[in-house]
């Protein structure tokens, strides 16, 4: 099983860099108060990263709004994961604890203002592609939604052999492959587009890998995908 970025993505986003953390035999079942405290600390520090800049004008968020427009999604209606997360925190909300992995990747997302997500490898069938949706993609249940809907042709999605596992690039993940307390094998992804420099995602991946190793154990490896290195083995 591999994670592969298809050529069609780099045709329009040649400077995309994906940081990947691959996890095997982890324990995601423990409710660790220290992890929630890390998330609270990241929330508290967030306003200092924005100052008086409106959320949509921060360069690390504006770049995703422009990317969404390029594949036909309105960012006002479908904000990127990092815009949604930061907006909630800056509006005074605290991010709820779902499980350790989710709280850890939300912590890293807030620290670095980058989209972060992850999928349960044991629920994925065949390779995972980051690609553009075709005309006949199957309908998929997204997190929190009661109706299955198919991706629109041309939108950027992560998909396996069965269906999309994340729609509109990093907008919302499928329920089928979500991370749970029973999850043992995982891949996590941090995505960057200019102007975010490569060393930012390298730092974020290192921090995420270290935190997962500390709190969830298992075996941890990392990789970076770009136009010169377009795939990585997941299993």
Report the pLDDT averaged over residues 158-181. 97
Q: Domain map of the chain by residue range?
A: 2-49+79-233
- What's the pTM value of the predicted model, to 2 decimals? 0.96
Render pLDDT for 1-35 as a digit per residue (tens, 0 to 9). 999 999 999 999 999 999 999 999 999 998 889 99
CATH 3.50.40.10 at 2-49+79-233, yes or no: yes
Tell me the percentage of the chain whose pLDDT exceeds 90: 98
Average pLDDT of the segment spanning 122-126: 97
Distance CA 158, CA 135 (A): 15
The model's pLDDT over 53-87, given as tens digits with 9 standing for 90+, comes to: 999 999 999 999 999 999 999 999 999 999 999 99
Q: Give the burial string for 84-112 (b: 16+ CB within 10 Å, else e).
A: ebbeebeeeeebeeebbbbbbbbbbbbbb
Q: Does position 155 have pLDDT exceeding 90, yes or no?
A: yes
Strands (E), 139-229: 156-159, 164-167, 172-173, 186-192, 219-225
Query: How many degrees, rounded to 5, is the angle at CA 233 between CA 195 and CA 224?
Result: 20
Q: Which pLDDT value is given to residue 32?
A: 86
Task: Give the integer Cα–Cα distance in Å for 126 and 1.
Answer: 6
Token pair in block for residue 64: 């995703």
């Amino acid at each position: 099983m591999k994670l592969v970025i298809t050529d069609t993505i780099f045709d329009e986003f040649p400077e995309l860099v994906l940081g990947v953390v691959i996890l095997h035999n982890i324990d995601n079942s423990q409710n660790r108060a220290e992890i929630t405290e890390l998330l609270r600390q990241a929330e508290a520090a967030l306003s200092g990263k924005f100052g008086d800049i409106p959320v949509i004008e921060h360069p690390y968020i504006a770049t995703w709004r422009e990317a969404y427009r390029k594949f036909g999604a309105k960012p006002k209606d479908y904000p990127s994961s990092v815009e949604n997360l930061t907006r909630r925190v800056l509006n005074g909300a605290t991010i709820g604890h779902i499980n350790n992995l989710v709280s850890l990747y939300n912590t890293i997302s807030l620290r670095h203002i980058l989209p972060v997500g992850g999928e349960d490898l044991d629920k994925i069938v065949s390779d995972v592609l980051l690609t553009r949706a075709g005309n006949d993609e199957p309908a998929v249940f997204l997190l929190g939604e009661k109706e299955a809907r198919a991706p629109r042709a041309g939108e950027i999605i992560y998909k396996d052999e069965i269906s999309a596992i994340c729609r509109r690039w990093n907008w919302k993940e499928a329920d089928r492959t979500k991370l749970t307390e029973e999850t043992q094998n995982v891949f996590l992804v941090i995505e960057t587009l200019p102007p975010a420099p490569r060393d930012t995602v390298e730092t974020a991946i290192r921090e995420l890998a270290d935190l997962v190793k500390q709190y969830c154990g298992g075996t941890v490896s990392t990789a970076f995908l770009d136009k010169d290195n377009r795939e990585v083995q997941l299993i």
